[in-house]
Amino acid sequence: MTLEQVAHRAKVSTATVSRVLNNASVVKTSTRARVVKAIEELKYHPNLHARHLAGGKSRTIGMIVSNMENPFFFDIYKTVESDAHAAGFEVVVANTDYRSEQLVASIRLMIGRRVAGLAVVVSEMEPALIEELTDSNIPVVFYDVGAPRQNITNIRVNYGRGIDKIIDYLYSLGHRKLGFVGHHAMLGPINERVKPVLDAVARYPGVEVRTAADADTLDGGRLAARALLASGEQPTAIVCVNDIMAVGALRELRERGIRVPQDVSVTGFDNVKLSEFCYPALTTVHIPRDTIGHLICDTLLSKSGNNAAADHEMVIDPEFVLRDSTGPAPGR
Amino acid sequence: MTLEQVAHRAKVSTATVSRVLNNASVVKTSTRARVVKAIEELKYHPNLHARHLAGGKSRTIGMIVSNMENPFFFDIYKTVESDAHAAGFEVVVANTDYRSEQLVASIRLMIGRRVAGLAVVVSEMEPALIEELTDSNIPVVFYDVGAPRQNITNIRVNYGRGIDKIIDYLYSLGHRKLGFVGHHAMLGPINERVKPVLDAVARYPGVEVRTAADADTLDGGRLAARALLASGEQPTAIVCVNDIMAVGALRELRERGIRVPQDVSVTGFDNVKLSEFCYPALTTVHIPRDTIGHLICDTLLSKSGNNAAADHEMVIDPEFVLRDSTGPAPGR
DNA sequence: TTGAAAGCGGTACCAG
DNA sequence: CTGGTACCGCTTTCAA
């Protein structure tokens, strides 16, 4: 079904059909009626690719995330989508699953689609790729826990600050032997996620921390906790890189008959909904996903507009949330 | 950046550039090298819309789901995506959030994109829309708990069978006063999700059931459970339409000091990962999301291939999973 | 092995 | 208010 066929049936030109489709300019009511009728009879659906190609502009914004399975990313996506829809844009997401080849593929795809804007919400990214993106000339905004990028709008959360708050609290409770559960995106040398923990701990003499990492899933959290528990002395508190993994850790502890928080304390990060619903409810740090989502959309939408200003950086300071998974270190 | 500019720089025709892009036919090695060089220097990314328009075929399959937030849908998506990628397809998802206008919009969008296949994983759907879809001539597969569709491949789970297993088990444990927690997509008259419960209960004289519904989220489950508890006699068992809402119900019970399963039993549905990680772990019914995902992909991919056969229906029989959230009715 | 040119399905400008 | 038509960027014969 093509525009031309519709035009033919309605006995008008393709130009006119196009007009009624975009309810643009003036089309005589009777003509419009004929066209609409033809469209319905033929069950015509305009070809978006053709439309895009001819029109030039995109009306869709892209979003790339590491792991949609983690509600943290999903929450951001949700508000981005909602804002985008409100502005008449649609959004297409891509999941990288923490795999860098997927990241590359997804970015190429987005560029190929000529999206009106792109939000990249992933942890690690090679400089070459970033360059490819900036050269593409499409408005981009990064969300990151890492270092600021140059020449690109960057939203980031002050991860270290959040970790500090957690460690401070745990220290005040008497915890000296800590465990850190991270995810695989942070294997390798000291990275963005582990370093803050080490730094925070370093401020307190006499505090030790061992780390373990696994997949960014419930199971991963469980496995990492198991690894922590299987080797060396049992920590009195387990700090997790995010809530999902913390819930996984909670399960491992429960199955071993280790009580939380009486025997060991556990903390999450992000404050996703689940952190309130698990048992015990998690002490965590709140990252405002909605704010991040709004920021992303505002930036993208205004950028694709006119004011090519504001290629700055916005950093979000996380807030401590006290719940039931933490308590005094045992024997204190 | 366009093909033509690349062609110009490499001093060849656009046809040749196209050839190396699709590494098709024979291109002299030296020529190919020149082109590749030009592409890199210009940081050229082919316009997918143009490519699609010219090429005709799509290489992308669409998927529409009610609520990506529920891991049930996400799990299906995940395996579809993985299978699709393996076959050289990409997949674009759309979330309807249980809103029918969104469903309409998403379907139109997919048709407009001329996707090579479309998976529709939603609860309710108007006949008119279904017709629009069949007329579109694109391979479609539905996943549903409802009645079979005509003329479209339909995968469905025998929801009633699953409910029966749960009710039977609960009955054998002495439960006579039941509560059912559903979600809003099932408001209105007796529908696909509630009816099976009523039917199952009807088989046992003396068993009563009250129902409550809310959003398909953790909070929704909590609220629905609250409603159930706030009115009338306290049920001895709460049957939930899915695991997510069951976890929500668990929280409400916990905060009221009602012990699970000693005071009231709770059941989920789907057997998503979370059902093992919550506390207490949920007795539920297993729906094989991976099988469903594979089925969807196989169907779509083979359909878009040649054999337009198999417009049949596949029904999946769910399996009972016993865990810790159920026990004998109190005082028995 | 490579180039020229005819589309693919729309949009939008220019006349009428 | 409506029609004619030149593209949009790429693929694909058809010849050379």
Averaged pLDDT score across all residues of chain A? 91
Ranges of H-type helices in chain A: 3-10, 14-21, 29-42, 48-55, 71-86, 100-113, 127-135, 159-172, 194-202, 218-230, 243-255, 274-277, 289-304
* Protein residue closest via CA to C1' of D1: A27
For residue A263, pLDDT beyond 80: yes
- CA distance linking residue B268 with residue B286, whole number of Å: 9
- CA distance linking residue A167 with residue A201, whole number of Å: 7
State the average pLDDT over residues B64-74: 95
The answer to whether residues B316 and B155 touch, using CB atoms and an 8 Å cutoff, is yes
Q: Which of A31-40, A132-141, A322-331, B164-173 has the lowest mean pLDDT?
A: A132-141
**Predicted model pTM:** 0.94
Q: For A58-157+288-316, CATH number?
A: 3.40.50.2300
CB nearest A92 (choices: B92, B219, B276): B92
CB nearest B46 (choices: A93, A112, A250): A112
For residue A7, pLDDT beyond 70: yes
State the average pLDDT over residues B184-189: 62
Which of A277, A289, A323 is the best substitution to test chain B (most B C-beta atoms within 10 A)? A277
Q: What is the pLDDT of residue B86?
A: 94
Which of the nucleotides in strand D have any atom less than 7 Å away from a protein CB atom?
Answer: 1-5, 7-13
At B74, the pLDDT band (50, 70, 90 cuts) reads very high
Please tell me the distance in Å from A131's CA to the nearest CA on chain B. Answer: 10
Measuring from the CA of residue B19 to each C1' atom, give the nucleotide at the shortest distance: D11
Flag if A53 and B50 touch (Cβ within 8 Å): yes
**Half-sphere exposure for A68 (CA within 13 Å, toward CB):** 23
Say if A257 is an interface residue toward chain B (CB within 8 Å). no
Say if B324 is an interface residue toward chain A (CB within 8 Å). no
Taking CA A41 as the corner, what is the angle to CA A37 and CA A44, rounded to the nearest 5 degrees?
Answer: 95
For the segment B100-126, what is each residue's pLDDT rounded down to a tens digit?
899 999 999 999 999 999 999 987 788
The answer to whether residues A267 and A282 touch, using CB atoms and an 8 Å cutoff, is yes
State the average pLDDT over residues B205-234: 95
For residue B189, pLDDT beyond 60: no
- CA distance linking residue B6 with residue B18, whole number of Å: 10
Question: Closest Cα to residue B22, out of B5, B8, B39?
Answer: B39
State the architecture of A3-46 in CATH terms: Orthogonal Bundle (1.10)
The share of chain B scoring above pLDDT 70, in percent, equals 93
Burial label for A262, CB within 10 Å (0-12, 13-18, 19+), is exposed
- Of B residues 248-267, those with CB within 7 angstroms of nucleic strand D are none
Say if B21 is an interface residue toward chain A (CB within 8 Å). no
Q: Which of A40-44, B56-60, B66-70 has the lowest mean pLDDT?
A: B56-60
Note the CA–C1' distance, B15 to D11, in angstroms.
Answer: 8
Residues of B in contact with A63 (CB under 8 A): none
The answer to whether residues A143 and A120 touch, using CB atoms and an 8 Å cutoff, is yes
How does DSSP classify residue A184?
A: G
Q: For B159-287, CATH number?
A: 3.40.50.2300
Angle subtended by helix axes A71-86 and A243-255, to nearest 10: 150
The answer to whether residues B296 and B80 touch, using CB atoms and an 8 Å cutoff, is yes
Which residue of chain A is at minimal alpha-carbon distance from B277?
A251
For residue A306, pLDDT beyond 50: no
Q: What is the pLDDT of residue B312?
A: 72
Say if A42 is an interface residue toward chain B (CB within 8 Å). no
For the segment A78-95, what is each residue's pLDDT rounded down to a tens digit?
999 999 999 999 999 999
Distances from the Cα of B142 to the Cαs of B60, B101, B158, B249, B295, in angstroms?
Answer: 17, 18, 14, 30, 11
The answer to whether residues A47 and A104 touch, using CB atoms and an 8 Å cutoff, is no
Flag if A81 and B92 touch (Cβ within 8 Å): no
Say whether the CB atom of B16 is under 7 angstroms from strand C: yes
- Of B residues 39-68, those with CB within 7 angstroms of nucleic strand D are 44, 46-47, 50-51, 53-56
**Half-sphere exposure for B320 (CA within 13 Å, toward CB):** 13
Q: What is the pLDDT of residue A309?
A: 44
Distances from the Cα of B303 to the Cαs of A51, B138, B300, in angstroms?
Answer: 27, 9, 5
Question: A58-157+288-316 and A159-287: same fold?
Answer: yes
Q: What is the pLDDT of residue A186?
A: 58
Three-state helix/strand/coil letters over chain B? CCHHHHHHHHCCCHHHHHHHHCCCCCCCHHHHHHHHHHHHHHCCCCCHHHHHHHHCCCCEEEEEECCCCCHHHHHHHHHHHHHHHHCCCEEEEEECCCCHHHHHHHHHHHHHHCCCEEEEECCCCCHHHHHHHHHHCCCEEEEECCCCCCCCEEEEECHHHHHHHHHHHHHHCCCCEEEEEEEHHHCCCCCCCHHHHHHHHHCCCCCEEEEEEECCCHHHHHHHHHHHHHCCCCCCEEEECCHHHHHHHHHHHHHCCCCCCCCCEEECCECCCHHHHCCCCCEEEECCHHHHHHHHHHHHHHHHCCCCCCCCEEEECCEEECCCCCCCCCCC
For residue B57, pLDDT beyond 90: no
For residue A187, pLDDT beyond 70: no
For the segment B129-171, what is each residue's pLDDT rounded down to a tens digit?
888 888 888 999 988 766 666 667 889 899 999 999 999 999 9
For the segment A190-216, what is each residue's pLDDT rounded down to a tens digit?
577 889 999 999 999 999 999 999 999
Which residues, including other chains, have CB under 8 Å from residue B67's CB and lie 6 or more apart? Answer: B73, B95, B96, B97, B98, B216
Flag if A251 and B276 touch (Cβ within 8 Å): yes
Domain residue limits, chain A: 3-46, 58-157+288-316, 159-287
Give me the sheet containing A153-157, strands edge to edge.
Answer: A90-95, A60-65, A117-121, A140-144, A153-157, A313-316
Say whether the CB atom of A24 is under 7 angstroms from strand D: no
Phi and psi at A265, nearest 5°, equal -95, 155
Helix (H, G, I), strand (E, B) or coil at A159: helix
Say if B71 is an interface residue toward chain A (CB within 8 Å). yes
Flag if A273 and B218 touch (Cβ within 8 Å): yes
State the average pLDDT over residues A119-146: 85
State the average pLDDT over residues A160-164: 96
Angle subtended by helix axes A48-55 and B48-55, to nearest 10: 130
Please tell me the distance in Å from B7's CA to the nearest CA on chain A. Answer: 18
For residue B332, pLDDT beyond 50: yes
Residues of A in contact with B274 (CB under 8 A): 218, 274
Say if B232 is an interface residue toward chain A (CB within 8 Å). no
Q: Element (H or E) spanning A93, and its range?
A: strand A90-95
Three-state helix/strand/coil letters over A318-331? CEEECCCCCCCCCC
Q: For tokens 């270190």, what's the residue?
A: A329
Measuring from the CA of residue A15 to each C1' atom, give the nucleotide at the shortest distance: D3
Phi and psi at B167, nearest 5°, equal -60, -45
For residue B245, pLDDT beyond 50: yes
Inter-residue long-range contacts of A306-309, CB under 8 Å, 24+ positions, other chains counted: none
Measuring from the CA of residue A16 to each C1' atom, give the nucleotide at the shortest distance: D2
Please tell me the distance in Å from A133's CA to the nearest CA on chain B. Answer: 10
- CA distance linking residue A28 with residue B249, whole number of Å: 58
Flag if B251 and A276 touch (Cβ within 8 Å): yes
Averaged pLDDT score across all residues of chain B? 91
Question: Closest Cα to residue B281, out of B326, B225, B316?
Answer: B326
Say whether the CB atom of B54 is under 7 angstroms from strand C: yes
